[in-house]
Amino acid sequence: MSTPVALRNWRTAAQRQVSATLRAQKTALEDWQAASTEGRQAATEVVNAFLNLGLVEGGLDLGVLSALPNVQECAVLKLRLQQRRALERVVKATKQLEASYGSFSKAVEALELPIIDQTSPSPSRPSSPMTSVHEPAAPVYNCLNIGTLRGLFRELLEMYHAELRTKTRLTEEFVCLVHSEKYSRNANTAKDTAQKGKEAKSGADLRGVLETYLATWLLEPRIDNSRLVEIKSLIEKEMKLL
């Protein structure tokens, strides 16, 4: 910057943009957490209904209930309805996750644009981060310059992008669980003992796979929680030190 006044004005503009990005991040991640929790609950209902359908359709001994008319058919219909409704909630939650990520991404993209002093004679802001504009290496707040702050926000965004891809893939599998023959519920329909043994093992393996899907949704392995806390704390402390 050519003068101390120009540098001060630039820092004010940079601080304004970083604060806006931080607010957008906070809102987006709160929305993300709510959608992720709803998606996990709904996905659990999809899996439970699927496993229960396997039992009911596979000739489960109903005991005294077998004397009731159409009890098995009614149970199957109800479970299928529960499964479809739960799947709709999973798909909706995934779309909400996409929207949350999109909001965060737009805020980070805005921060990537060169910071322009709005008090300068020509304060129009470049529309692309590739536009050549000299920016000072001076701290925006206390210690970190704009390049470092951008890198921290970008690191957070990349975590959530990877996790969104994982959850989208899981959602596709839950859709297959309900609407395709990829996952078979025939563990209890085998005719002979040997075949029943094979199918029982297959059913146990399938349960393990589905439980892994649910655990993966819950744990969000693509998001490094310790690094997430570290970055958020670093940025917030940097702003408070001003």
Give the C-alpha separation, 6 to 113, whole Å.
Answer: 18
pLDDT of 40-79, one tens digit each? 999 999 999 998 888 776 665 566 566 666 767 888 889 9
| In a domain? residue 38 | yes
Residue 124 within a domain: no
Question: Which structural domain range is residue 74 located in?
Answer: 4-116+134-240
The overall average pLDDT reported for the chain is: 84
For residue 200, being part of any structural domain is answered with: yes
pLDDT in tens, 4-52: 899 999 999 999 999 999 999 999 999 999 999 999 999 999 999 998 8
Residue 125 lies in a domain: no
Contact 178, 87 (CB under 8 A): yes
Domain for residue 122, yes or no?
no
Task: Answer yes or no: is pLDDT of 223 > 70.
Answer: yes
Split into its structural domains, the chain has a count of 1
Phi (first) and psi of residue 178, to 5 degrees? -95, -40
Is 205 domain-assigned?
A: yes
- Residue 234 in any domain: the answer is yes
Q: How many whole angstroms separate alpha carbon 195 and alpha carbon 209?
A: 21
Cα 91 to Cα 56, 96, 163, 234: the distances in Å are 26, 9, 15, 35
Distance (Å, rounded) from C-alpha 162 to C-alpha 158? 6
